[in-house]
Amino acid sequence: MTKWQNQIRAFTSPSNHRICAIIVAYRPDTEKLSELIRACLNQCSGIVLINNGNPKNLSIPQHPRLKFIQLEDNIGLASAQNLGVKWAKNGGYSHIVFFDQDSHPDQGLVSILSAAFETLETMGARPAAVGPCLIDNRDGIRSPFVRFHLWGIKRIFPSEATPFINCDFLISSGLFTSITRFHTIGTWEDALFIDNVDMEWSFRARHQGYRCFGISAARLSHSLGTQVFRLEYFYLYSCPPKAILHQSQSNRSIPATLCSFELENTRHGTWISEISFNLLDF
């Protein structure tokens, strides 16, 4: 246990948190998915696993604290996660944490995120959500947290000096929040299907006066894309062509840049059109 992990644990002990892990699967590697389920059973009060279409017979561990929901069709990541949140709320859970099917949380990750969220609440920081540092499970490369500004993007890497990193967005895998806060900000935007769902929610939260925080002590192994290409100064991640085509067909419009959104006919279209301007003020 590192010094900063002990520091966060010392802030508060949110023993009253009933935490539900929400996992959405789509043609998963069942071995990796089973590892994730076992990790979540050790760290969460319960799990809801939504299988987004085929295959319909997944070979996964059975457990009384694991709820399995089989969908007939692929309704998209946003809608499937919203379904999981609804189930967790009806089940009496107080907090939720989302995981992609290929993620693997470090031991103690959920308790660190829970303590950090509670601490930020107590400090009056108005957290929308907290999230871990992402580590690519193929090469160990850490992903920084990001802030946008007029001159570009500021990348902030975790350090002991910054246990809480105010960032402009968190990816959905590892995102931890309370069910109350999630519904205050609003559910994931169903119309986006899969692409930029977490980014839109983070921007919407910021628009409402809440903030996203990266937690330096929390680590999550995760895969970005299906392949990684190492160049001299940076890395490129690729996705299967079918996945990109599916996203393009499902979304009404895909943002050309991080600072330009044209999301017509969505529940939040009124303010999304202003993101390109609001980013300059962050």
More reliable by pLDDT, 42 or 160 = 42
Segments forming the whole domain that contains residue 86: 3-224
Residue 245 has pLDDT above 60, yes or no: no
Confidence band for 242, pLDDT divided at 50, 70 and 90: very low
Is the pLDDT at 255 greater than 50? The verdict is no
Closest CA to 189 of 116, 112, 86, 263: 263
Do the domain assignments include residue 280? Answer: no
Token reading at 177: 């929040």
228, pLDDT greater than 50: no
The reply to whether 111 falls in a domain is yes
Number of compact structural domains in the chain: 1
| CB 132 within 8 Å of CB 107 | no
- Kindly state whether residue 257 falls inside one of the protein's structural domains: no
Q: Residue with structure tokens 């829970």?
A: 114
Average pLDDT over the chain reads 80
Mean pLDDT computed over 37-55: 93
Q: Is residue 90 part of a domain?
A: yes
- Per-residue model confidence (pLDDT) at position 87: 98
Domain membership flag for residue 256: no
- Domain presence at residue 146: yes
Residue 258 falls inside a structural domain? no
Report the CATH number at residue 196: 3.90.550.10
The pLDDT-based confidence of 4 (bands split at 50, 70, 90) is low
Q: How confident is the model at residue 39 (pLDDT cuts 50, 70, 90)?
A: very high
Assess if residue 202 is contained within a domain.
yes
